[in-house]
Amino acid sequence: MTSRRGRVSGHYAGVVTRAAALVLDWFILTTLLGVLAGIAAAVVVFVTPWEIPTAKQGLAWLAVLAAWAFLYFTLSLTIAGKTPGMALVGLKVVERDGSPLQPRAAFVRVLAMPLSFVLFGLGLAWAFFDRERRTLHDIIAGTVVVYDWGDRSAEMPAPLTRWLQRRQADGFADPGARRP
């Protein structure tokens, strides 16, 4: 039986998949920041007489969030060429020629990422019009985001799929059909 399952690895990633990865990454990085801040606050309370910063010091927390996000994205891209959110949805950042992402390009990409948001989202919207679906920070860094499923098919056969295929082969494709 021939499979019609396609290979997508190396193809330019779609806008929806990239957005899903970004949402996952922001959830992961803010959750990690909250956990680490809680641990740090507990240590500060038990070890020192210092006060813990409150929500009134929003600018300080915003700076901490920005530094943590920079560290999260830069280290993830430099080490693996993808962030945890990208890994969950099957994406990877590579150089425009398809070669593995270099540390310098990862650093530049993360530095330029806020520009895509600050310009009223136009830097992100550019992906809708670009043939390679690149955003402003991809253009500045010379990178592209591609699907990364390795040698696997785009759709992995599931147990239900195999069961349905066996039923079709046995002539029981119609649920209303009677069994001989």
Q: Which of helix, strand or coil describes residue 145?
A: strand
Summarised one tens digit per residue, pLDDT across range 126-161 is 989 989 999 999 999 999 999 988 765 555 555 656
Residue 82 resides in a domain:
yes
Residues 6+ apart with CB under 8 A from 117: 123, 124
pTM: 0.73
Closest among 153, 175, 156, 154 to 164, alpha carbons compared:
175
Structural domain tally of the chain? 1
Domain span including residue 48: 15-108+144-167
pLDDT-based confidence at residue 59 (cuts at 50, 70, 90): confident
Summarised one tens digit per residue, pLDDT across range 13-49 is 989 999 999 999 999 999 999 898 888 888 888 888 8
Residue 42 resides in a domain:
yes
The Cα-based distances of 96 to 59, 88, 132, 162 in angstroms read: 37, 22, 9, 38
List of long-range contacts for 72-76, beta carbons under 8 Å, 24+ apart: 72/25, 72/28, 72/29, 72/32, 73/25, 73/110, 73/113, 74/106, 74/107, 74/110
Residue 50 resides in a domain:
yes
Residue 91 resides in a domain:
yes
CB contact at 8 A, 55 and 61: yes
Residue 94 resides in a domain:
yes
Instruction: Give the integer Cα–Cα distance in Å for 161 and 146.
Output: 27
Residue 159 resides in a domain:
yes
Residues 6+ apart with CB under 8 A from 101: 77, 78, 81, 92, 93, 94, 95, 143
Instruction: Give the integer Cα–Cα distance in Å for 95 and 101.
Output: 5
Residue 130 resides in a domain:
no
